[in-house]
Structure 1
């Protein structure tokens, strides 16, 4: 055993064990989180962690984490979210790898790579890995995971707050003030030129989703090559069941039939900017007017909160065309947002490595559970 309290990996008597998560492991997880970002962060993670485990409709065990033990001490964990995907209209059960952590004392020793490889040997099902940082991304690539390219974020700007970086504070403030005035004028003109009333579409807020989402998804899944399942229970788990949820849920109805939905969160402070996020949406890509009506309603509500930016992750070009007509611009790529691995025996679906073939949103990861 070395100074970290963990056994030396080259020691012949080191006992390695991979097992399911147990409630008592949470103390070790909290130690990892505390080392990552402090006690307040660890406490928030612990609260969200319990909700993440308890509500997944595709989980039968409610212990969807795998733990690596070295001589009885937790050395790493991996979050494995059981989930269902639609690949060219066919249902495929698999996993979402979404939360990877190695004990700070054991990093850089090949522990993460060996751990992920061992998990894959036991669980060869189709899987995706989401929102990985650079070190984790490197580990997964070494284990054979392949990136999905072309996952852009589109933004609609309202100010240049904290984006002007001259040496002169008065100049920065003047530019930011002027930019906000210009944006405000442009968007007032936009409202006069374009109809933001959603005429022809009945859009309303809801507290919870129901099984009409299930019907909507089944009717639309064939229009996307790759898409994670949506249902009322899935959306409620992600966007409604939290007692501190600030998500706003919009639905569009025709009579009593659900035509589409959209979920957003008003502006949160990030790097001194107030950023509102469109987390998830679904409607027919063949009806751009419907998507435009949902987005315009969301924009109107978000603008009441005085955002600096509205952002949306949009991979489908059919929806992206609508965003561009609303003043959204392609702002950044997200190279760590999505990777996949597929059992060789099952064959690799054509086009799976291209983001434009996926329907993928911010809501498809686990960030909806963490405060960020």
Structure 2
């Protein structure tokens, strides 16, 4: 019998089997360790909503929403990030995904989670927009810098008084930074120690490299970096960048030292997302970044759609959920980077 239901203990095995059947690309593959981190880890926003399609004990469909704590116009709210929409190929084009998604949306509405965002691949975009009520937010731009054999890439850090230190664990110093900077932003994921440790340093299947810009014992900003081998291309990502809006010395220090990390690692190119911060965009352009490269997800060129579903209070949330007001980096998506 076909049943559309929430997660039950042991579903992760069927999830993995379905993922291997549906997702044929080689990038950022899910594994069981990733599943436990993402769906059963120490996310400070709470547990995700997971909806499964079960046909006589076989998992044939899945769609989830992962809660994310946001700072929204000076108030903490819990939004969500959609994840892992999958249907067994034998059941595709039969309307099953609509039943799975409708149950997920009903749960989101009942839990009063106001918005759910995501980055669908080219095959899933129309489904989200036409059937599930998602709306376009923006075409997310990929900032790109070619590195190999380019002597001009060598940065010259210029910020006196700041020290570059690796962060092994985010502590109260990042909480102090967050508290001092949060009201510079209209819409932003809450970047406190609980979130940053779970998001980056607890993840078991991907190594991230976190660094801080310290003025004595005061953390003025941080960045999170990643190395990714894509066939013959070694790519560096700025996964996250954060400081007080307008702290140009710290912003440049983070970007310049991040680039030096990538130079030392002999990367071929560096990419990142940066939305909602003209301040950081100007620094990136000064450091030689442009909108270029391939954004992924089956989308040609350097952009891909960011979409969002407004589950409740649309008149309150829609005016702020845009590329100008919504600060967003690669690390604010849990499915791609």
Q: Answer whether TM exceeds 0.5 for this pair.
A: yes
The aligned residue for residue 174 of structure 1 is none
The aligned residue for residue 70 of structure 2 is 85
The aligned residue for residue 297 of structure 2 is none
| TM-score, structure 2 as length reference | 0.86
The whole-number CA distance in structure 1 between the counterparts of 2:209 and 2:121 is 28
| TM-score, structure 1 as length reference | 0.79
**By how many angstroms is 1:55 displaced?**
2.2
Asked whether the 8 Å contact 1:33–1:42 carries over to 2, the reply is no
Q: Does 1:200 align with 2:161?
A: yes
Once the two structures are superposed, what CA deviation does each residue of 1:159-217 show, in whole Å capped at 9, x if it has no partner? 4xxxxxxxxxxxxxxxxxxxx3xx22x235xx5xxx42542312211211113223322
Q: Which aligned runs of 4 or more in structure 1 are off by greater than 6 angstroms?
A: 40-43
Q: Does 1:317 align with 2:278?
A: yes
Once the two structures are superposed, what CA deviation does each residue of 1:269-325 show, in whole Å capped at 9, x if it has no partner? 214211100101211121122111011111111101111101111112221011000
The 3-state SS of whatever aligns with 2:67 is strand
The aligned residue for residue 267 of structure 2 is 307
The whole-number CA distance in structure 1 between the counterparts of 2:170 and 2:207 is 15
The whole-number CA distance in structure 2 between the counterparts of 1:259 and 1:351 is 30
Computing the radius of gyration over CA atoms, which structure comes out larger, 1 or 2?
1
**By how many angstroms is 1:72 displaced?**
4.8
1:112 pairs, out of 69, 75, 97, with 97
The whole-number CA distance in structure 2 between the counterparts of 1:45 and 1:274 is 22
* Higher helix content, 1 or 2: 1
The aligned residue for residue 296 of structure 2 is none
The aligned residue for residue 167 of structure 1 is none
**By how many angstroms is 1:71 displaced?**
5.0
Asked whether the 8 Å contact 1:204–1:252 carries over to 2, the reply is yes
Q: Does 1:153 align with 2:135?
A: no
**By how many angstroms is 1:228 displaced?**
1.2
Shift in alpha-carbon separation, 1:78–1:214, aligned structure 2, 3 A: farther
| 133-142 or 100-109, which deviates more | 133-142
Asked whether the 8 Å contact 2:18–2:59 carries over to 1, the reply is no
The whole-number CA distance in structure 1 between the counterparts of 2:107 and 2:239 is 32
List runs of 5+ in structure 1 lacking aligned partners.
1-13, 160-179
**By how many angstroms is 1:49 displaced?**
0.9
2:5 pairs, out of 14, 18, 32, with 18
Structure 1 residues 185-196: aligned runs within 5 Å: 186-187=152-153, 191=155, 195-196=156-157
The whole-number CA distance in structure 2 between the counterparts of 1:23 and 1:108 is 28
Asked whether the 8 Å contact 1:147–1:353 carries over to 2, the reply is no
Shift in alpha-carbon separation, 1:353–1:52, aligned structure 2, 3 A: closer
The 3-state SS of whatever aligns with 1:280 is strand
**By how many angstroms is 1:248 displaced?**
1.2
Asked whether the 8 Å contact 1:269–1:275 carries over to 2, the reply is yes
The aligned residue for residue 138 of structure 1 is 126
The aligned residue for residue 347 of structure 1 is 315
Asked whether the 8 Å contact 1:151–1:356 carries over to 2, the reply is no
Once the two structures are superposed, what CA deviation does each residue of 1:62-104 show, in whole Å capped at 9, x if it has no partner? 5642212345542311222122112222211132112211122
**By how many angstroms is 1:22 displaced?**
2.1
**By how many angstroms is 1:37 displaced?**
5.0
Once the two structures are superposed, what CA deviation does each residue of 1:204-263 show, in whole Å capped at 9, x if it has no partner? 112111132233223222222211111112111121124554211111223322211100
Shift in alpha-carbon separation, 1:41–1:204, aligned structure 2, 3 A: closer
**By how many angstroms is 1:107 displaced?**
1.2
List runs of 5+ in structure 2 lacking aligned partners.
293-300
Q: Does 1:50 align with 2:36?
A: yes
Asked whether the 8 Å contact 1:98–1:131 carries over to 2, the reply is no
